[in-house]
Amino acid sequence: MNSLLRYSRQIEVIGRNNQLKLLKSSVLVVGAGGLGSAVIAYLAGAGVGMLGIADGDVVEVHNLDRQIVHAGKVGMIKAESAKIFVKNLNPDVKVVTHGYFNEKLNVEKYDVVVSCVDSIETRHKINRVCFKSKKPLVHAAVSGFEGELMVFDFRNGFRESSPCYRCVYPENVEAQKNSVVSPVAGIVGSLQALETIKLICNYTITRELLRMDFRHMEFIRIKVSKKKGCPICSLF
Ligand SMILES: [Zn+2]
């Protein structure tokens, strides 16, 4: 492990022990698009020990307005492009790349899973896998000037009472258009990175759905309960 000097400003806030926890932690980021770029950049900068990056897409020129980790890499697979970005930013971080997320992806080696995909179907898949594997899931979505964020905490001691993504969204909900104002993806992705760091360092996290309207700078928190009869999480 390199010197902790790189993290000194952060250590002043979270303390050395929490920094060491981050350096030993591993996080799976599913989707290296607009949200994923901010998550990857800030988790790498903050010193998460291992980042798994799952995205089989190829970088296209219309991604570059918001997908900041892919600058100059049009045509490259996104997971590989993001890996190069991380290595340049912080050589302390180990990166493991995966193709598209599927239910066979082994999430056991990760402490937290961050969902940064725009496919509703994939979000449900990630939810199922995380609930089954007892991994906390940091969900977010963006559209236009708006964003939402929620942590589904499936760790022992929390999963008994935590709702899951399926409790909030039935499976037949229409996908939102993935048009977005570039910084909205950066802001909401940065919030995902922050909640991930709080999970790893055992800070109290918000257990409500955060809805953000950046056009009017309105932020609301909505209480969500476990849904009776939810096919994914109502075993309790
Ligand atoms: Zn549920």
pLDDT at 178: 75
Q: How far is the CA of 167 from the centre of ligand 1 (A)?
A: 4
**What's the CA-to-centroid distance between 148 and ligand 1, angstroms?**
18
Residue type for 236, please? F
Report field, pTM of the whole predicted structure over 0.85? yes
pLDDT tens by residue, the chain, 236 residues: 558 999 999 999 999 999 999 999 999 999 999 999 999 999 999 999 999 999 999 999 999 999 999 999 999 999 999 999 999 999 999 999 999 999 889 999 999 999 999 999 999 999 999 999 999 999 999 999 999 999 999 999 999 999 999 999 987 777 667 799 999 999 999 999 999 999 999 999 989 999 999 999 999 999 999 999 999 998 75
Provide the domain limits for residue 52. Answer: 4-222
In a domain, 156, yes or no: yes
**Is 228 part of a structural domain of the chain?**
no
CA of 134 to the centre of ligand 1 (A): 13
Q: How far is the CA of 106 from the centre of ligand 1 (A)?
A: 21
- Residue 233 in any domain: the answer is no
Tokens 């309790």, residue located:
236
Amino acid at the residue 190: S
**pLDDT computed for residue 42 by the predictor:** 98
**Is residue 188 one of the residues assigned to a domain?**
yes
The single-letter DSSP state of residue 178 is: -
**Centre of ligand 1 from the C-alpha of residue 110, in Å:** 21
CA of 83 to the centre of ligand 1 (A): 33
Q: What is the CATH number of the domain that holds 26?
A: 3.40.50.720
Q: 234 in a domain, yes or no?
A: no
Cα–Cα distance between 168 and 204 in angstroms, integer? 22
20 domain residue, yes or no: yes
229 lies in some domain: no
CA 30 – ligand 1 centroid, Å: 20
Looking at residue 236, its pLDDT comes to 58
Answer left, alpha or beta for residue 134, where phi above 0 means left and psi between -120 and 50 means alpha.
Answer: left
Q: Tell me how many domains the chain contains.
A: 1
Q: Compute, in angstroms, the gap from residue 166 CA to the centroid of ligand 1.
A: 5
Q: Which run of H or of E encompasses 28?
A: strand 26-30
73 lies in some domain: yes
Q: What is d(CA 105, CA 186) in angstroms, rounded to the nearest whole number?
A: 26
